[in-house]
Amino acid sequence: MRIAVVEPLGAPRKLLDELAAPLRVAGHEVCFESERSTDVEILRRRAEGAAVVILANIPFGGDLIRALPELRMLSVAFTGTDHVDCAACRERGIWVCNAAGYATQATAEMTIALMLGALRCVAEGDRVVRQGGVRTYLGKELRGRKVGIVGTGAIGLRVAELLLAFGCEVVAWSRSIRKEALALGVTYVDLDELLATCDIVSLHTPLTEETKLLFDRERIARMKPGSLLLNVSRGGVVDSHALAVALEEGHLKGAGIDVFEMEPPIPADHPLLAAPNTLLAPHGGFATEEALAKRARIVFENVTAWLEGHPSNVVVRGRSL
């Protein structure tokens, strides 16, 4: 069986070869690619003849899936799978498994980094020093802030834990109440109350039909004046134009954004590039050495589990082997 890793996974090649070794010993062909490409024809050639394709966050659309008649399983080295045409996979009976949990700590730490960076004006301080200036601003401390977590999945829960350690009051809104959050001391409130009362709002939801543009002009307007908005979930959850206007008009004090409507590079006219008090990151919340090594292990474990007949981390259930 051919197993095609169609884009680099960011882990050391030594580790990847170690993970691939048992599959090769079992007689399977495992092929790695060293350069990332989103070109559909290049991806088709890389995946041609493969029963299993391993990818991270490159778009994997229906036309490509339907052009790969031997494809039976996708092991996605990412938590979200909105970049994969899961409907086409269901039509074809192709299994889709993700790498849930690999970046929980990394993304939670990035969330805190963006909060601290925005509160303490880190980017502005760097600019001032490089230009030979002196401090002209005052920051704010994270301790004592009321923070609203939107989405209490694994990452949202870990962010709540870290915030409580900083001495924050943490409230949450989510589609389901988690007993783990209640045990931490997190209080669930309705979304309008969260928006109106929190100094910081941090987004940790998947991108679904229900969450698409969840933070539109109307919801952003309901946020507490002078508050911060953090998004390390999915770019499509926030209306970037509405957020930029709220920042320019001073309704929001600042924002920390790690995700956009598209993967970076973002276009030169993207509204958040000109928005004041905005800390931007190139979708790097997941990108630590530890997280990338963990996700490499998970995607190969997914393949092994599927081959053994008990698939793990299943997003789309395909046909039996």
CA distance 61 to 53: 13
263 is catalytic: yes
Long-range pairs for 82-87: beta carbons < 8 A, 24 or more residues apart? 82/206, 82/207, 82/234, 82/236, 83/57, 83/58, 83/59, 84/55, 84/60, 85/60, 85/61, 86/315, 86/316, 87/62
Choose the catalytic residue: 263, 297, 301, 317.
Answer: 263
283 is catalytic: yes
| Structure-block tokens of residue 309 | 């007949």
Choose the catalytic residue: 158, 178, 204, 234.
Answer: 234
Cα separations (Å) of 117 from 11, 35, 257, 279? Answer: 28, 32, 11, 7
Choose the catalytic residue: 72, 178, 283, 295.
Answer: 283
Termini Cα distance of the chain: 13
CA distance 184 to 319: 41
**Which positions are catalytic?**
234, 263, 283
